[in-house]
Amino acid sequence: MRTYTTSRHGQPNVSQLHYARQGVITEEMKRVAEREQLAPELVRSEVARGRMVIPANVNHVNLDPMAIGIAAKCKINANIGNSAVTSDEDTELEKLTVATKYGADTVMDLSTGGGLDAIRSTLIKHSAVPLGTVPIYQAVQQVDKVTDLTIEGFLEVIEHQAKQGVDYMTLHAGVLLRFMPYISKRKMGIVSRGGALMAEWMMHHHQENMLYTHWDRVCAILKKYDVTVSLGDGLRPGCLADASDEAQFAELGILGELTLKCWEHGVQVMVEGPGHVPMDQIEMNMKKEQEVCHEAPFYVLGPLTTDVAPGYDHITSAIGAAIAGWHGASMLCYVTPAEHLGLPNLEDVRQGVIAYKIAAHAADIARHRKGARDWDDAMSDARWKFDWNKQFALAMDPERAKEKHDATLSHDAFKTAEFCSMCGPKFCSYKNSQDVTAAWAKYVAETGAAGGALPESILAAKDSDVHAVIAAAAANHAPGELAAQAARERQVERKAMLAQKG
Amino acid sequence: MRTYTTSRHGQPNVSQLHYARQGVITEEMKRVAEREQLAPELVRSEVARGRMVIPANVNHVNLDPMAIGIAAKCKINANIGNSAVTSDEDTELEKLTVATKYGADTVMDLSTGGGLDAIRSTLIKHSAVPLGTVPIYQAVQQVDKVTDLTIEGFLEVIEHQAKQGVDYMTLHAGVLLRFMPYISKRKMGIVSRGGALMAEWMMHHHQENMLYTHWDRVCAILKKYDVTVSLGDGLRPGCLADASDEAQFAELGILGELTLKCWEHGVQVMVEGPGHVPMDQIEMNMKKEQEVCHEAPFYVLGPLTTDVAPGYDHITSAIGAAIAGWHGASMLCYVTPAEHLGLPNLEDVRQGVIAYKIAAHAADIARHRKGARDWDDAMSDARWKFDWNKQFALAMDPERAKEKHDATLSHDAFKTAEFCSMCGPKFCSYKNSQDVTAAWAKYVAETGAAGGALPESILAAKDSDVHAVIAAAAANHAPGELAAQAARERQVERKAMLAQKG
């Protein structure tokens, strides 16, 4: 229970960014430092710099604070929520349970059907992870048609949800009227629900985006509750053909501008990104956001690396998400097997979460984040020891791993067997390899041979070539390089910041 | 039916490589050219150069020839086959049917249980895709224990399977006795079944790898039937901790040596690769093989990018496979959800094949292979038109896509509905975006505004910044660059080859 937030009520700015800039290490920062195995001062400095956010509404009392940013481990978000066509409050609560059970770091309630307030307050009450929303959905539900939307109505919804305890909100403030010509050139127009709604309103009234023009008022509300802004990418590409186009990057430029405005207000902010991107454009997209949006944490949706596999978009997008995380995305929004086809059910949520935990963890490993590979090494050790129960316990989805193993060899005796049904006992490579290692040890003991000291006849040819290959490979492969670079960058930033503070 | 192969029987060398070097464009090459939309002469030159293989045993009469190589589209292989613990002939035939239905380009029969000859001949008879095997499995089944293996027995099995019509064979000839010390340093030793068996034999007899020492005799058999060699990576890493280590690259050096020997014999050859590799080491691994193995096609297993998700290794590895294909791997060996846990069932085979079709297609797109994205564009068009039946038809797995859609909206009326259950009618971004586009067109027609010609007030600020962002992004992003480079390389190689031929 975050009882410590009560003293903050009524203050004009209670954001983590605000405290961090004052040099205060909050309870939330301490908890983040503990979970990430980082120094509390590093957490504070990253939050102050805007490169890390801790979405933690002061009214979300049962939150276990977590952080999103390049210095922290890569995070994943699970979208849940109903539509007018299907689902209800109980189902959404079940989805929350499944999503967090399998490791979702945050959850977004994207409900657009009925009972929005009830679903949202139930989810906040039961969630220890940050809850995000897209307030335009409720704002539009409260009027007859989207064109009836007013800024007063919109701000009312934002404040209402902020009071409820929503930790972060997607706001599509970068979809500007002057970008509409770019949309007409696209194969798939606007595929962001919020972006399309904003554009409808703008085109109808021939007025600029109301969130953009009233951004100061938005920030003034959010900082009272410490709601983190998630700058929505209303113009994200909806297919490979539209990736990295004018519309996308034009909006990104505005998101960079709004990022600075949030920081002026002392409001925490992250930036949302695509969507659908071919593999060879992902790294460029990550670097572009870092550059244009001043290193605000990047929160990407996938991206999908091909459009042709509906029913398997958790996989088409986990590929892109892993690459995105590797190149610097701080949070990956999951995509489920139901994407493009319907609302996800509980099993879809589970599949989506696991696919994204895989992507995020693969990214942590590729970035050489401290200790990331320890989990993998523990699994490898359990495999080598034929400790099946430990393998299940260490698995991302223990039930599924056990179920698959037991499908062919269910008896308890096989939990210590030195084989599985894939190879059977005679062909198990682990077992056979262990015999080889034992034979080698015996040979060394008997002959006194050490290292590569084998009979002359065997050692003869080509060894110099082999070592040349290894040396060349080692030269190309610089583990830890990225991590070292990130550390250097942090160092430079911190010095600059300290200098500024004088 | 390949009736045209009968005239080749009894010739000392009937390999595609042999014919290609003589300037002959075979029926197989013509068919490959047609399937790949490449010029027949390009196919011939790539085969002659050894950069493309067409695994096509003269005795596999119902084969539809296909190619594996950098100039062709990225391919996938599905492993099937029984073990001593489970499965039979009928099940394996069903797996073949499922694998090829969903798009496996080749199939390997890895059976190690009983009835090996019957299963193999049934599979060859029913398969229009190349069938690969690992002959050591049968060689070991025919003796009491692996240490009883002799080169005569091994060669007999190879010739027996070649006569049956096996199109390619994995032979672990690069596992050498002098590499055993490297194995002892590993977390997981030897995880290749064939590699571990060879090592057991070698350590027991203290003799060099019998395939390595008798490689000329192996080649002499294979060229009579045009069996393509798949140089097994017996020392591939079995976990992230062992990736890119001495053992792996020492063997790779030997595989490069054996590649040249195959080419001396006029035998087609490809090279097998890892296994388990962190994302940041994959590109280096692909380039290393191209360099060390003289651009022989690289055929990789995954690689898995994390070890901690048994039950989901089709996903952990599809991420690695997509990146590998992007950086030049020519064929991706699938991994199923059953990996590390047991023998795959029919649904596992389906899941593995689809995950790998996604990886291979994403790689084709990222490499800018000609026409690769047309399929994606057709899907995007069908989505934009709300043509649900066409979306299902275009999907990699049409049944699964339809099933997921129909789970919430099964009535036929919804096959033309302008929404799905994800958003419902009011919040469908496609629909709303189409309204925006229509409104924009109306505005242009009414006001005569064209391009970005919007009212002064809207066009005012920041547009120069936005265009700077777009220009910078465009400069970084060079689509087609990789493809252009590959084309240039081919050109240089072809000129050199033609010059050599005089």
Å between A418 CA and nearest CA of chain B = 12
Q: Is the pLDDT of residue A475 over 60?
A: no
Contacts of B475 (CB under 8 A, 6+ apart): none
Cα dihedral B471→B473→B474→B477 (10° resolution):
160
Average pLDDT over residues A137-147: 94
Q: Is the pLDDT of residue B441 over 50?
A: yes
Q: Is the pLDDT of residue B440 over 50?
A: yes
Q: CA B393, CA B380: separation in Å to the nearest integer?
A: 13
Average pLDDT over residues B451-477: 46
* pLDDT value of position A484: 42
- The reply to whether residue B305 touches residue A322, judged by beta carbons under 8 angstroms, is yes
pLDDT above 90 covers a percentage of chain A that reads 74
Number of CB atoms found within 10 A of residue A499's CB: 8
Q: Is the pLDDT of residue B498 over 80?
A: no
Please state which of the ranges A224-233, A492-501, B236-245 shows the lowest mean pLDDT.
Answer: A492-501
| Partners of A299 in beta bridges | A272, A331
* pLDDT value of position A301: 97
Q: Write the residue in A341, A426, A458 that is nearest to B178 by C-beta.
A: A458
What is the tens place of the pLDDT at every residue in A1-55? 898 998 898 899 999 999 999 999 999 999 999 999 999 999 999 999 999 999 9
Å between A2 CA and nearest CA of chain B = 33
Is the torsion defined by CA of B15, B19, B20, B24 positive or negative? negative
- The reply to whether residue A326 touches residue B246, judged by beta carbons under 8 angstroms, is no
- Residue of higher predicted confidence among A486 and B143: B143
Contact B227, B162 (CB under 8 A): yes
Exposed / middle / buried, residue B6 (Cβ in 10 Å: 0-12, 13-18, 19+):
exposed
Q: What is the DSSP string of B100-157?
A: HHTT-SEEEE---SS-HHHHHHHHHHH-SS-EEE-THHHHHHTSSSGGG--HHHHHHH
pLDDT above 90 covers a percentage of chain B that reads 74
CATH topology for B77-366 is: TIM Barrel (3.20.20)
Contact B278, B243 (CB under 8 A): yes
* pLDDT value of position B457: 39
- The reply to whether residue A318 touches residue B323, judged by beta carbons under 8 angstroms, is no
Å between B264 CA and nearest CA of chain A = 19
CB pairs under 8 A between A and B: 505
Kindly list the domain boundaries of chain B, sorted by start residue: 77-366, 428-501
* pLDDT value of position B500: 55
Cα-based angle B64, B65, B66 (whole degrees, multiple of 5): 120
Q: Is the pLDDT of residue B301 over 90?
A: yes
Average pLDDT over residues A414-431: 80
Q: For residue B164, what pLDDT band results from cuts at 50, 70 and 90?
A: very high
- The reply to whether residue B140 touches residue A426, judged by beta carbons under 8 angstroms, is yes
Number of CB atoms found within 10 A of residue B10's CB: 7
Q: Write the residue in A113, A278, A395 that is nearest to B311 by C-beta.
A: A395
- The reply to whether residue B239 touches residue A426, judged by beta carbons under 8 angstroms, is no
Q: What is the DSSP string of A450-492?
A: -TT---HHHH-SSHHHHHHHHHHHHHH--TTHHHHHHHHHHHH
- Residue B307: closest CA among chain A residues belongs to which residue? A376
* pLDDT value of position B470: 52
Q: Is the pLDDT of residue A173 over 70?
A: yes
Exposed / middle / buried, residue B84 (Cβ in 10 Å: 0-12, 13-18, 19+):
middle
What is the tens place of the pLDDT at every residue in B197-228? 999 999 999 899 999 999 999 999 999 999 99
Specify the residue for token string 């493809």. B483
Exposed / middle / buried, residue B39 (Cβ in 10 Å: 0-12, 13-18, 19+):
exposed
Reading the block at residue A352, the tokens are 């989506």
Phi, psi of B301 (to 5 degrees): -100, 100
- The reply to whether residue B200 touches residue A401, judged by beta carbons under 8 angstroms, is no
Task: Give B226's Cβ-side CA count (13 Å radius).
Answer: 26
Average pLDDT over residues B37-61: 97
- Residue A141: closest CA among chain B residues belongs to which residue? B426
Average pLDDT over residues A228-246: 96
Contacts of A292 (CB under 8 A, 6+ apart): A252, A253, A255, A256, B469
- The reply to whether residue A253 touches residue B469, judged by beta carbons under 8 angstroms, is yes
Q: CA A322, CA A74: separation in Å to the nearest integer?
A: 10
Q: For residue A469, what pLDDT band results from cuts at 50, 70 and 90?
A: low
- Residue A307: closest CA among chain B residues belongs to which residue? B376
| Partners of B75 in beta bridges | B331
- The reply to whether residue B427 touches residue A380, judged by beta carbons under 8 angstroms, is no
Interface test with A, best of B287, B402, B422 (most A CBs within 10 A): B422
Q: Write the residue in B314, B354, B426 that is nearest to A309 by C-beta.
A: B354
B428 contact residues in A (CB cutoff 8 A):
193
Q: CA A482, CA A286: separation in Å to the nearest integer?
A: 14
Average pLDDT over residues A155-174: 98
Q: Is the pLDDT of residue A502 over 60?
A: no
Quick one: angle between helices A282-292 and A313-326, nearest 10? Answer: 50
* pLDDT value of position B483: 36
Q: What is the mean pLDDT of chain A?
A: 89
CA distances from B308 to A362, A375, A380, A431 (A): 10, 7, 9, 21
B249 contact residues in A (CB cutoff 8 A):
466, 469-470, 473
Q: Write the residue in A404, A426, A463 that is nearest to B338 by C-beta.
A: A404
* pLDDT value of position A470: 52
What is the tens place of the pLDDT at every residue in B336-364? 999 999 999 999 999 999 999 999 999 99
Average pLDDT over residues B111-121: 91
What is the tens place of the pLDDT at every residue in B125-145? 999 999 999 999 999 999 999
- Residue B136: closest CA among chain A residues belongs to which residue? A427
- Residue of higher predicted confidence among B389 and A87: B389
If you count them, how many residues does chain A have? 502
- The reply to whether residue B432 touches residue A459, judged by beta carbons under 8 angstroms, is no
- The reply to whether residue B250 touches residue A208, judged by beta carbons under 8 angstroms, is no
Q: What is the DSSP string of B370-436?
A: TTTTHHHHHHHHHHHTT-HHHHHHHSSSHHHHHHHHHTT--SGGGGS-S--TTTTTTT-HHHHHHHH
Please state which of the ranges A190-199, A200-209, A445-454, B448-457 shows the lowest mean pLDDT.
Answer: B448-457
Å between B446 CA and nearest CA of chain A = 13
Of B171, B182, B236, which is closest to residue B209 (Cα–Cα)? B171
Q: Is the pLDDT of residue B473 over 50?
A: no
* pLDDT value of position A486: 41
CA distances from B346 to A281, A408, B76, B100, B478 (A): 35, 13, 17, 12, 42
Q: Is the pLDDT of residue A280 over 90?
A: yes
- The reply to whether residue B288 touches residue A473, judged by beta carbons under 8 angstroms, is yes
Exposed / middle / buried, residue A7 (Cβ in 10 Å: 0-12, 13-18, 19+):
exposed
- Residue of higher predicted confidence among B4 and A447: B4
Q: For residue A423, what pLDDT band results from cuts at 50, 70 and 90?
A: confident
Average pLDDT over residues B102-117: 94
* pLDDT value of position B376: 98
pLDDT above 70 covers a percentage of chain B that reads 89
* pLDDT value of position B181: 86
Q: What is the mean pLDDT of chain B?
A: 89
Å between B428 CA and nearest CA of chain A = 7
Q: CA B183, CA A328: separation in Å to the nearest integer?
A: 35
- The reply to whether residue A239 touches residue B376, judged by beta carbons under 8 angstroms, is yes
Of A299, A289, A305, A212, which is closest to residue A258 (Cα–Cα)? A212
* pLDDT value of position B159: 98
- The reply to whether residue B323 touches residue A323, judged by beta carbons under 8 angstroms, is yes
For A80-186, where are the alpha helices, taking DSSP H only?
Answer: 89-101, 116-126, 136-141, 151-164, 180-184
Q: CA B97, CA B90: separation in Å to the nearest integer?
A: 11
